[in-house]
Amino acid sequence: MNVKQLDLSRRTIALAAALIGTVSLVIGAHAALNMRAIDAAKAVSTDQITGSIGQTSRLALVIGNGHYPDASAPLTQSINDARALSSSLRKNGFDVDMVEDATKDDMVRAVNRLKSRIKRDTVVMLFFGGYGVQAGRESYMLPVDAVIWKESDVRRQGVSIDGVIDMMKEQGAKAKLVVVDASRRNPYERRFRSYSHGLAPISASDNALILSSASPGKVVDDGKGEHSVLVSEFLNNLSAKGSAESVFNKTRVAISRASEGDQVPTVSSSLLEDVHFDAAGG
């Protein structure tokens, strides 16, 4: 091998070594960046998880339906009740979605919005004021665009209260609070051959608390006040300190006494822990 060949070989080796070194640096830098990205992602994930611990979200869906085409007069109390209750719940730390004069599509969308936001630590409340009808031993909230001529229309056009409660349970809600002010004599009852007055019993599934304006199968007439009797008493007791179960029971007792037993709301509970309306109470 002559001198020129030897010099060429040395330069080739040097270039190869430099190229290998550069590639190694690139690979090393890429790996380092990947590790940093993975570590950063873990940090964000950990922050999100630890940040949610101990933070109980509080959601409420409030529906007030008053203007039904089949009714002889609007239910003005239902709208007033929804607005007043929404205001009170917001003051108590609830994130409230309020819907007035909701059609079937409005109600379905509202329930879906609620569903998308429920987490395992969420306290969820549902309020419905308007007309309710029982069909097949199940109670349905009626939208303002419902066209009811037979019992099957109720199941098709109404929104099942039990179905909404089941959804809350499936989403893992911490607690489920339900107030139903719909035991009114509705404009559809004469269209049914076999008709059941009032609402059916609403079962309190796991960790649920339910208040209905009357006993199962009973109907009540609206008074002349700005708010229904149920919501008036409920708001009075909501401002007092105490558990949600205490608020519901005090409301039931107050209405029963004021009406001398003519109107006896129903309270059913399967709560496993104390739940408070005021944010400071838990």
What are the pLDDT digits (tens) for 217-270? 899 888 788 999 999 999 999 877 789 999 999 999 999 998 888 899 999 999
- Residue 97, pLDDT above cutoff 50: yes
| Model confidence pLDDT, tens digit, residues 14-54 | 545 554 454 454 445 444 434 444 343 333 333 333 333 34
Domains of the chain: 59-270 (3.40.50.1460)
How many Cα atoms within 13 Å fall on the side-chain side of residue 30?
A: 6
Question: Which backbone phi and psi does 248 adopt, to 5 degrees?
Answer: -65, -45
Residue 120, SS3 per DSSP? coil
Say which DSSP state 143 is in.
P
User: Within 10 Å of residue 276's Cβ, how many Cβ atoms?
Assistant: 18
> Residue 28 carries which side chain, given as an amino acid letter?
G
> Residue 24 carries which side chain, given as an amino acid letter?
S
Tokens 């003005």 label which residue? 76
Angular region, 33: left φ>0, alpha ψ -120 to 50, beta rest:
alpha
Against a cut of 0.75, is the pTM above it?
Answer: yes
Q: What is d(CA 239, CA 247) in angstroms, rounded to the nearest whole number?
A: 9
Residue 114, SS3 per DSSP? helix
Residue 150, SS3 per DSSP? coil
